[in-house]
């Protein structure tokens, strides 16, 4: 065992998460294939993570490296989390913006089950088990061995026992009677290509901030589709870890009704 390295890890966990961080690190090493829990200040209940899965690096990206920590220049009322996985980003936003209503969308069933568990204490976090597309569609989920954060979706013609439904951002806004989305977080493993290829003009003017991870390494054309769609709008851009944050000009959104 590399004692100086382990001491450095323990010191970092204690500095960032207190005694809970030390317990979490110890349990990571001792409970190799068991669920882990960690209690964070500002959240109602412990987070549940699957040890030795991509839940662990996701936790560190969100709560240690703080890839979603930035000045959003607003106090959001509505946050939509596309590709919510097990709910860690939704809970980061709930911790940061406790008054916000959050709509969390996750297609993969095992991730969705844990998403519901992690967010069960919050009546204003609404979980949808579906994919994000540019229309109503049926999708198949494909596991390319990238871990729990890397499931991809593909449109198919017919519904089967293996398909999930997909909806658009426009339909989410209609379902929840939204006139705007303050923060739209997108991490959908390549489906952003289809999301921004068509019909985006029906909902994009109603979004204030987009935080997106592009996946051209998984599905070529994601960045091209995204920036082509964004080229008709004025925005400022910032880079935060794996994410691109786009702050839309105030004149482009407001309380006007959603187009149908």
Q: Which of 249, 247, 248, 245 is nearest to 68 (CA)?
A: 245
The verdict on 4 and 80 lying in the same domain is: no
- Domain count across the chain: 2
Residue 258 domain flag: no
The residue that leads in pLDDT, 214 or 163, is 214
- Are 82 and 185 part of one and the same domain? yes
Ranges 9-18, 43-52, 86-95, 142-151: which has the least confidence: 142-151
The H or E element containing residue 247 is strand 243-248
Give the DSSP H or E segment for 57.
helix 55-59
Assign 258 a pLDDT band (cuts: 50, 70, 90). Answer: very low
Residues 93 and 118 in one domain: yes
Check whether 256 has a pLDDT greater than 50.
no
What's residue 31's pLDDT? Answer: 87
Q: What is the pLDDT of residue 155?
A: 64
46: left (phi over 0), alpha (psi -120 to 50) or beta: beta
Q: What pLDDT, on a 0 to 100 scale, did the predictor assign at position 255?
A: 41
Confirm whether 89 is domain-assigned: yes
Over pLDDT 70: what percentage of the chain? 90
Residue 212 maps to a domain: yes
Residues 19 and 109 in one domain: no
Range of the domain at 5: 1-56
Summarize pLDDT for 165-188 with one digit per residue, the tens.
Answer: 889 999 999 999 999 999 999 999
């Amino acid at each position: 065992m590399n004692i100086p390295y382990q001491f450095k890890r323990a010191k970092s966990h204690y500095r960032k998460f207190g005694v809970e961080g030390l317990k979490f690190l110890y349990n990571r090493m001792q409970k190799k294939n068991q669920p882990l829990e960690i209690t964070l200040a500002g959240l109602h209940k412990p987070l549940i993570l699957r040890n030795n899965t991509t839940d662990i690096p996701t936790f560190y990206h969100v709560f240690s490296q703080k890839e979603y920590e930035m000045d959003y220049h607003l106090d959001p009322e509505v946050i939509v989390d596309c590709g919510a996985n097990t709910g860690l980003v939704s809970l980061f936003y709930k911790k940061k913006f406790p008054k916000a209503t959050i709509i969390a969308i996750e297609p993969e069933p095992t991730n969705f089950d844990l998403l519901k568990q992690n967010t069960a204490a919050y009546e204003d976090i609404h979980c949808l088990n579906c994919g994000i597309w540019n229309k109503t569609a049926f999708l198949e989920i494909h596991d390319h061995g990238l871990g729990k954060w890397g499931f991809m979706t593909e449109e198919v013609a017919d519904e089967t026992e293996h398909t999930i439904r997909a909806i658009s951002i426009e339909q989410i806004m209609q379902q929840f009677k939204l006139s705007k989305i303050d923060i739209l977080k997108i991490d959908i493993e390549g489906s952003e290509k289809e999301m921004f290829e068509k019909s985006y003009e029906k909902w994009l003017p109603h979004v204030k901030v987009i935080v997106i991870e592009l996946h051209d390494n998984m599905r070529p054309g994601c960045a091209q589709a995204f920036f082509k769609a964004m080229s008709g709008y004025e925005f400022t851009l910032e880079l935060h870890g794996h994410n691109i944050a786009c702050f839309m000009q105030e004149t482009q959104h407001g309380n006007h009704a959603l187009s149908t």
